[in-house]
Structure 1
């Protein structure tokens, strides 16, 4: 791993751990497929999603797509997912131009959030 990437990843994890999580009222569990387009690769976008999703106890996965966008399937309380999407849209080191959110079926028994390479 390059020195630059290591420093960027350390910064991303520091930033993600400093995001102030609001107090959520309990809601129902949903699963959403979310596609982010714009300048979202090579800026620590997947790592930021991963860190915040883990902090909020969401499950699912995130991956880069060949067209330069980032796709995630996120499962958890809807208010948590909405908060995560909003965080990513307001991320200063990225430039999210478009977000497409599609409801997908819940995956029973899923226990973690992963980065798909």
Structure 2
């Protein structure tokens, strides 16, 4: 890993850990597929989403897509997912031009959130 990427990743993790998580009122557990298009690759987008998702106790995954977008399957309380999506949409070093959200069935037994690498 080159030194710029290491430095960027260090900043991304610092930034994600300093996002203020509000007190949520309990909400229903849902699963959503979210596709983010725009300038969302090579800016630490997946790493930031992963860090915040873990802080929110969400499960699922995030990955880069070959068309330049980022796709995430997010499962957890709906208010937590909405908060995460809004955080990512307002991220200054990225530029989300388009976002699609699809409701999915809950995946029982899922324990963690991960970054999926391209094959």
Normalization by structure 2: what TM-score? 0.98
The aligned counterpart of 2:74 is 74
The aligned counterpart of 1:2 is 2
1:18-97 matched pairs, under 5 angstroms: 18-97=18-97
Could you tell me which runs of 5 or more consecutive residues in structure 1 were left unpaired when the two chains were aligned.
Answer: none
Secondary structure of the structure 2 residue equivalent to 1:43:
coil
User: Quick one: distance in 1 between partners of 2:32 and 2:9?
Assistant: 26
The count of aligned residue pairs is: 117
Could you tell me which runs of 5 or more consecutive residues in structure 2 were left unpaired when the two chains were aligned.
Answer: none
Q: Give deviations 1:2-56, integer Å, cap 9, x for gaps.
A: 0000000000000000000010000110000000000000000000000000001
Secondary structure of the structure 1 residue equivalent to 2:35:
strand
Runs of 4+ in structure 1 displaced over 4 angstroms? Answer: none
RMSD: 0.3
